[in-house]
């Protein structure tokens, strides 16, 4: 079953961008090294909307602005249960594995690397995380985004589960 992803309009939200990581890349050419930069930027409103973007350019400011623009285009809605996430989730993206667990109020964001800014931008205040496998900043941020996008709202999931068995009973014939 495919989930429909509705496009979120970034102009309606008050978004703040946060620079997570800058990488200097050198391309060796005939005349020497040609430097360029890639910037990982997280954009969110702190109220359940978050997006990440990687911008690449010859100068750092241009890379950051490109990353911010891409982050605003890739916004997702995160279902929150108060100040935490609704349920535990484990996700793999590339070689980066991320585990997110709901936490009791007052715990804070127990996260490292580039998972913390993604959760902060999403508005999650209490969560326990574990980063397994690769510590690549971009893959960890993408794994965190994938985990947040796979979270299900408990009320919607309960309604979906209640509606499914009736359809299956009508279709089964022995």
pLDDT in tens, 86-124: 999 999 999 999 999 999 999 999 998 899 999 999 999
Provide mean pLDDT across the span 60-64.
96
CATH number of the domain where residue 79 is located: 3.30.230.10
Four-residue CA torsion sign, 25, 23, 132, 91:
negative
Q: Is residue 162 part of a domain?
A: no
Domain assignment present for residue 4? The answer is no
**Domain count within the chain:** 1
Residues 29-49 pLDDT 10s: 999 999 999 999 999 998 889
Does any domain span residue 173?
Answer: no
What does the H/E/C string look like for the chain? CCCCCCCCCHHHCCCEEEEEEEEEEEEEECCEEEEEEEEEEEEECCCCEEEEEEEEECCHHHHHHHHHHHHHHCCEECCCECCECCCCEEEEECCEEEEEEECCCCCCEECCCCHHHHHHHHCCCCEEEEEEECCCHHHHHHHHHHHHHHCCCHHHHHHHHHHHHHHHHHHCCC
- For the cut 70, the answer to whether the pLDDT of residue 171 exceeds it is no
For the segment 119-129, what is each residue's pLDDT rounded down to a tens digit? 999 999 999 99
Classify residue 167: in a domain, yes or no.
no
In a domain, 169, yes or no: no
Distant-in-sequence, close-in-space partners of 76: CB < 8 Å, separation ≥ 6: 5, 8, 49, 50, 51, 145, 148, 149
Classify residue 2: in a domain, yes or no: no
Domain range spanning residue 94?
A: 11-153
pLDDT for the residue 1: 44
């Amino acid at each position: 079953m495919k989930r429909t992803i509705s496009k979120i309009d970034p102009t309606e939200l008050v978004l703040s961008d946060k620079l997570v990581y800058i990488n200097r890349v050198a391309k060796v050419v005939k005349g020497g090294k040609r430097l360029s930069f890639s910037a990982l930027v997280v954009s969110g409103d702190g109220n359940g909307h978050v997006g990440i973007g990687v911008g690449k350019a010859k100068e750092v400011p241009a890379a950051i602005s490109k990353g911010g623009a891409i982050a605003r285009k890739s916004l997702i809605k995160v279902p929150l249960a108060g100040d935490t996430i609704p349920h535990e989730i484990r996700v793999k993206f590339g070689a980066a594995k991320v585990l997110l667990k709901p936490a009791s109020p007052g715990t804070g964001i127990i996260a490292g690397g580039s998972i913390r800014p993604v959760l902060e931008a999403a508005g999650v205040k209490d969560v326990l995380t574990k980063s397994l496998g690769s510590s690549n900043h971009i893959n960890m941020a993408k794994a965190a985004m994938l985990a947040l996008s796979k979270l299900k709202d408990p009320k919607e999931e309960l309604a979906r589960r209640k509606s499914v068995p009736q359809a299956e009973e009508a279709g089964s014939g022995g």
